[in-house]
Amino acid sequence: MFVDQVKIHVQAGKGGDGIVSFRHEKYVAYGGPFGGDGGNGGSVIFQADPGMTTLLDLRYHRKIKATPGEKGKNKKMHGANGEDKIVKVPLGTIVKREDTGQIIADLTEPYQQQVIAKGGKGGRGNYHFKSSRNTAPKYAELGTLGEEFDCMVELRVLADVGLVGFPSVGKSTLLDAVSRAKPEIGDYPFTTISPNVGVVQTRDGRSFIMADLPGLIEGASTGKGLGHQFLRHIERCRVIVHVVDMGAEEGRDPLEDYKIINDELGSYQIRLLERPQIVVANKMDLEHAEENLKRFKEAYPDVTVYPTTTIIHEGIDPVLTKAADLLAVTPAFAITDDEMKNDGVVYTFEEKKSDLQIQQVDAHVWEVSGPRVERVFDIQKLNTEEDYFEFANKMRYLGIDKALREAGCEDGDTVQLLGYEFEFVES
Amino acid type, 156: R
- Residue ranges for the known binding site for GTP are 165-172, 190-194, 212-215, 282-285, 309-311
Distance CA 108, CA 110 (A): 7
pLDDT score at 218: 57
The whole-number average pLDDT for the span 150-176 is 86
Name all domains of the chain by residue range, CATH numbers in brackets.
1-155 (2.70.210.12), 161-341 (3.40.50.300), 357-423 (3.30.300.350)
* DSSP symbols for 155-211: E----SEEEE-STTSSHHHHHHHHSS------SSTT---S-EEEEEE-TTS-EEEEE
| Nearest C-alpha neighbor of 272 from the set 325, 234, 305, 226 | 234
Q: Is the pTM of this model over 0.95?
A: no
Give the SS3 label for residue 2.
coil
The whole-number average pLDDT for the span 291-308 is 93
Give the SS3 label for residue 306.
strand
Give the H or E element holding residue 317. Answer: helix 316-329
Q: How confident is the model at residue 260 (pLDDT cuts 50, 70, 90)?
A: confident
- The burial class, CB within 10 Å (0-12 / 13-18 / 19+), for 29 is exposed
- Residue ranges for the known binding site are 165-172, 190-194, 212-215, 282-285, 309-311
Q: Name the range with the highest mean pLDDT among 14-18, 187-191, 199-203, 251-255.
A: 14-18
| Nearest C-alpha neighbor of 119 from the set 193, 63, 40, 198 | 40
Task: For the chain, report the end-to-end CA distance as a whole number of angstroms.
Answer: 68
The single-letter DSSP state of residue 33 is B
- The burial class, CB within 10 Å (0-12 / 13-18 / 19+), for 12 is buried
Which CA distances in Å does 413 have to 154, 160, 358, 379, 416? 51, 66, 13, 19, 10
pLDDT score at 41: 96
How far is CA 14 from its chain centroid?
A: 22
pLDDT at residue 407 greater than cutoff 50: yes
- pLDDT tens-digit map of 239-248: 999 999 998 8
Cβ–Cβ under 8 Å, residues 267 and 223: no
Distance CA 69, CA 16 (A): 4
Distance CA 195, CA 178 (A): 16
Which CA distances in Å does 328 have to 65, 207, 208, 369? 43, 11, 10, 54
- Residue ranges for the known binding site for Mg(2+) are 172, 192
pLDDT score at 346: 40
Distance CA 267, CA 192 (A): 23
Give the SS3 label for residue 378.
coil
| Nearest C-alpha neighbor of 67 from the set 95, 104, 40, 105 | 40
Which CA distances in Å does 54 have to 2, 61, 96, 131, 386? 6, 14, 17, 57, 54
- The burial class, CB within 10 Å (0-12 / 13-18 / 19+), for 351 is exposed
- List the single range of 48-52, 304-308, 317-321 with lowest mean pLDDT: 48-52
Amino acid type, 395: M
pLDDT score at 63: 94
pLDDT at residue 191 greater than cutoff 50: no
Cβ–Cβ under 8 Å, residues 155 and 92: yes
Distance CA 230, CA 106 (A): 19
The whole-number average pLDDT for the span 1-5 is 62
Distance CA 235, CA 271 (A): 9
How far is CA 122 from its chain centroid?
A: 27
pLDDT at residue 61 greater than cutoff 70: yes
